[in-house]
């Protein structure tokens, strides 16, 4: 025996296929709406992932630095109030006090992945008559390269660092006319100098970074900056990048150091992302609403067109609930089919856009992220929206007085 669908489904589907023009038009409308939503969501997710990747492959999630040095006025006595003017002291390059202990404490945390000590300061790179001021970052390559992927950015040479080696950016190499194997004379404000050999040239994708950033072994920087055994920064990566700020606050509260998360140091970036997200949400909501109103409008017209059919069905013993079901099902089916077409359209358009839109350097503008969950969510939300949009017309149909409906 053939297993037939409930009668509400049969009637709903017949109504939809009989008014095929109407159905096609509203499906097109829904599909376009859902397509826009899917396209925007996937593109935004891709762009964000790309931004975050770019930001977080060139810096640590959390930087631990010594606390600022502050001056305190001396008190003349317990009851004497003084309007002291306190001048902010200049910040010397200081090592983090007891940094090995702090590193051990950090490593013990389950939410911390990598801890990399660095000694950072400014220096002058001199080659012949040319000199440029640079930021000297001394680090342990095996740890630091897990955080900032310098080896990925090397264009010439290698990222291997011995105690007399240095990695420099493309701009600095150009300015100094230097290349692999050439010697650079480094000089710091204290007067210490050292001659280092260029083993690699990197391109971080940013002109000023390529001009200023240089990398040397930790010991080399420590000796140049007069920080023997000391480090200025502990770079930390964490498991959940969005929890970085709370972890940083936790660390600052527990230890006598200052911890800055990438969220705090890139506040502007974060604001931009959240502004983009809220404007995107707004657009998506309005597109969703217009889809819902489109479905409702078509079903309202359908109820008017079908009022005689509804009256007859009611006269033949159809319950109000069955009539309600017929129109809710129509709303849901329109939403579901429209969203399936729309998701395919959105994904197709995204693929096309991804193929044509390129960055200045020819790499992709954003990674193509098409999560299956996006489509499932889009289909579910569109179906529910369809059912919700069908509610008003369906109630109207269910409340039709059969006598009035048949008389017209």
* DSSP assigned state of 86: P
Q: Is 207 left (phi over 0), alpha (psi -120 to 50) or beta?
A: alpha
Least distance (Å) from other proteins to the CB of residue 407?
A: 8
Q: Residue 4 or residue 70: which is nearer to other proteins going by CB?
A: 4
**Nearest to other proteins of 45, 312 (CB atom):** 312
User: Is 30 in contact with 335 (CB distance < 8 Å)?
Assistant: yes
| 3-class DSSP state of 362 | coil
DSSP 90: P
Rounded to a whole number of angstroms, the minimum distance from the CB of residue 15 to other proteins is: 6
Question: Do 102 and 149 meet the contact criterion of CB atoms below 8 Å apart?
Answer: no
Rounded to an integer, what distance in angstroms lies between the CA atom of residue 126 and that of residue 132? 7
- Which is nearer to other proteins, 3 or 87 (by Cβ)? 3
Residue closer to other proteins by CB (options 120, 307) is: 307
Q: Under a CB-based contact definition with an 8 Å cutoff, are residues 200 and 181 in contact?
A: no
* Least CB distance to other proteins at residue 16 (A): 9
Kindly tell me which of 194 and 314 has the beta carbon lying closer to other proteins.
314
Nearer residue to other proteins within complex by CB, 5 or 228: 5
Of the candidates 204, 183, 202, the one whose C-alpha atom is nearest the C-alpha of residue 193 is 183
> Do residues 120 and 135 lie in contact, with contact meaning Cβ atoms separated by under 8 Å?
yes
Q: How far is the CB of 390 from other proteins (least distance, A)?
A: 18
Q: CA 175, 180, 181, 184 torsion: positive or negative?
A: positive
Tell me which residue of 73, 213, 209, 220 sits closest to 161, measured CA to CA. 220
According to DSSP, the residues that pair with 197 across neighbouring strands are 165, 183
Q: How far is the CB of 11 from other proteins (least distance, A)?
A: 8
| 237 closest CA partner among 72, 84, 56 | 56
- Shortest distance, position 384 Cβ to other proteins, whole Å: 24
C-alpha span between 23 and 330 (Å, rounded): 10
**How many other CB atoms are found less than 10 A from the CB of residue 260?**
17
Closest Cα partner for 53 from 262, 352, 268, 357? 262
Least CB distance from residue 46 to other proteins, whole Å? 44
Point out which residues bind other proteins (CB under 8 A). Answer: 1-2, 4-7, 10-11, 14-15, 17-18, 308-309, 311-320, 322, 402-403, 406
Choice between 8 and 165, CB closer to other proteins: 8
Tell the smallest beta-carbon distance from residue 296 to other proteins (Å).
Answer: 21
How deeply is 241 buried, as exposed, middle or buried, from its count of CB atoms within 10 A (0-12, 13-18, 19+)? middle
Nearest to 24, CA basis, from 348, 334, 297, 394:
334
Q: How is residue 23 written in tokens? A: 């159905």
Report helix angle 20-56 to 267-305, nearest 10. 170
Smaller CB separation from other proteins, 2 or 72: 2
CB of 18 to other proteins, least distance (A): 4
CB of 169 or CB of 311, closer to other proteins: 311
Closest to other proteins by CB, 288 vs 325, is 325
As measured in angstroms, the least distance from the Cβ of 339 to other proteins is: 24
Task: Tokens for 392, please give them.
Answer: 């008003």
């Amino acid at each position: 025996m053939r297993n037939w669908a409930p009668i509400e489904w049969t009637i709903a589907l017949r109504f939809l296929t009989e008014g095929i023009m109407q159905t096609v038009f509203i499906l097109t409308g829904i599909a376009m709406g859902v397509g826009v939503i899917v396209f925007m969501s996937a593109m935004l997710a891709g762009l964000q992932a790309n931004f975050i990747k770019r930001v977080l492959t060139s810096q640590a999630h959390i930087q631990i630095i010594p606390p600022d040095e502050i001056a305190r006025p001396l008190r003349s006595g317990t009851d004497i109030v003084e309007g002291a003017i306190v001048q902010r002291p200049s910040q010397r390059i200081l090592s983090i006090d007891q940094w090995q202990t702090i590193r051990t404490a950090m490593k013990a945390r389950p939410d911390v992945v990598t801890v990399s000590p660095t000694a950072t300061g400014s220096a002058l790179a001199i080659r012949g008559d040319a000199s440029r001021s640079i930021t000297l970052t001394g680090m342990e390559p095996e740890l630091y390269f897990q955080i900032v992927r310098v080896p990925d950015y090397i264009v010439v040479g290698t990222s291997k660092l011995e105690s007399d080696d240095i990695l420099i950016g493309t701009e600095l190499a150009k300015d100094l006319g230097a290349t692999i194997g050439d010697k650079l004379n480094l000089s710091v404000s204290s007067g210490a100098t050292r001659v280092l050999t260029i083993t690699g040239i990197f391109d971080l994708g940013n002109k000023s970074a390529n001009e200023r950033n240089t990398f040397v072994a930790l010991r080399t920087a420590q000796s140049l900056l007069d920080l023997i055994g000391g480090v200025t920064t502990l770079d930390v990566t964490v498991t959940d990048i969005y929890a970085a700020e709370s972890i940083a606050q936790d660390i600052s509260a527990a230890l006598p150091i200052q911890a800055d998360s990438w969220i705090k140091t890139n506040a502007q970036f974060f604001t931009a992302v959240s502004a983009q997200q809220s404007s995107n949400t707004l657009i998506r909501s309005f597109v969703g609403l217009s889809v819902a109103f489109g479905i409702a409008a078509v079903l309202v017209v359908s109820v008017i067109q079908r009022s005689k059919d509804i009256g007859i069905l009611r006269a033949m013993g159809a319950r109000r609930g069955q009539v309600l079901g017929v129109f809710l099902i129509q709303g849901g089916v329109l939403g579901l089919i429209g969203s399936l077409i729309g998701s395919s359209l959105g994904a197709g358009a995204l693929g096309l856009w991804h193929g044509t839109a390129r960055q200045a350097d020819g790499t992709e503008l954003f990674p193509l992220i098409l999560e299956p969950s996006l489509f499932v969510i889009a289909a579910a939300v569109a179906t529910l929206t369809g059912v919700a949009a069908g509610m008003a017309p369906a109630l109207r149909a269910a409340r039709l007085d059969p006598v009035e409906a048949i008389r017209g």
